[in-house]
Every structure is written in C-alpha cells, then in structure tokens.
C-alpha cells in the first residue's frame, strides 16, 4: 500500500502536473496522503501487535481476534475505496466527466476507515501487552 502511494503520488506530481487543474491535483494529493497515512498506521500497528502473545502450556500462541481482523480489513478496503474514487475523480479533466460520480463513493471509504481505526483503538484499550 505504501509503495502504491509513492508511485501514484509521484505520477500525480510529475505526470499530471500540467495536464489537470490545481483543484484536481489537490484531490490526487489527498488520495495519496490517505494511502500513506493508513499504510504507516497499519505498519506501526503490525509491529506493535507482533509483541502481543499468549503462552499456553509453554507454547507461544498469537491471539485469534476476529474483531481485529475485521477492523484491519475495513481500513484496507476503506482506503482503497476512498483513494481510488478520488484518483478517478481527479482524472475527469483528462477523460471527461465519466468518473465525476465516483466522488460520492469516497465517504463510504472514509466511514470504513473510521470504523476500522475505532476497532483497532478498541483492541489497544481492551488487550494488555504480555511480555515473555
């Protein structure tokens, strides 16, 4: 996800700079920023969560948490829907108004991201870190 954000962000700056308006470049930038922020957040959470372990009969086991998995899936799906809809809206000036209505899809992605991060926050609040 982070690699995609870098590539798409660079494409926006270098490939679209003189082809679309500043308004659409700003929309492209917003889409790239959300990809970056969510990718970094998920990477930070993954590295922190890797230290959450449970020991049962001397065997280290990772907790199986369906709620956490759903939250992470919601974040990933949300950022894809949000960013891709903004990327498509940004291209309206180049390919016509075919994707203008995609802007109405972006809030769905935002809602999924918000609920996902609320779920991750809930995980932090309800699970204690166990050191081995």
Decide if 131 is inside a domain: no
Decide if 54 is inside a domain: yes
Q: How far apart are CA 82 and CA 101, in angstroms?
A: 13
Q: What is the predicted pLDDT for the residue at 51?
A: 54
Q: Assess contact for 93 and 20: CB atoms under 8 A.
A: yes
Decide if 7 is inside a domain: yes
Decide if 40 is inside a domain: yes
Q: What is the predicted pLDDT for the residue at 77?
A: 95
Q: What is the predicted pLDDT for the residue at 98?
A: 74
Residue 52 phi, psi (nearest 5): -85, 105
Q: What is the pLDDT of residues 87-106, one digit of tens each?
A: 988 888 887 777 777 778 99
β-bridge partners, 59: 56
Q: What is the predicted pLDDT for the residue at 18?
A: 81
What is the domain extent for residue 45? 2-126
Q: What is the predicted pLDDT for the residue at 129?
A: 59
Q: What is the predicted pLDDT for the residue at 132?
A: 44
Query: Which parts of the chain have pLDDT scores under 50?
Result: 131-132
Domain count, the chain: 1
Decide if 104 is inside a domain: yes
Decide if 58 is inside a domain: yes
Decide if 65 is inside a domain: yes
Q: What is the predicted pLDDT for the residue at 75?
A: 94
Decide if 111 is inside a domain: yes
Q: What is the predicted pLDDT for the residue at 102?
A: 79
Q: Assess contact for 45 and 120: CB atoms under 8 A.
A: yes
Question: Can you give 24-82 as a three-state secondary structure string?
Answer: HHHHHHHHHHHHHHHHHHHHHHHHHHCCCCEEECCEEECCCCHHHHHHHHHHHHHHHHH
Give the position of tokens 């291209």.
Answer: 91
């Amino acid at each position: 996800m982070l690699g995609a954000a870098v590539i798409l962000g660079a494409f926006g700056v270098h490939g679209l700079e003189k082809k679309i308006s500043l308004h659409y470049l700003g929309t492209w930038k917003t889409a790239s920023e959300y990809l970056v922020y969510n990718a970094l957040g998920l990477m930070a959470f993954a590295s922190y969560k890797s230290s959450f372990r449970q020991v049962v009969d001397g065997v280290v086991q990772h907790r199986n948490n369906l709620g956490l998995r759903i939250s992470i899936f919601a974040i990933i799906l949300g950022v894809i829907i949000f960013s891709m809809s903004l990327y498509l809206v940004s291209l309206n000036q180049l390919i016509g108004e075919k994707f203008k209505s995609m802007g109405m899809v972006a809030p769905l992605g935002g809602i999924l991201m918000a609920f996902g991060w609320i779920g991750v926050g809930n995980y932090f609040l309800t699970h204690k870190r166990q050191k081995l």
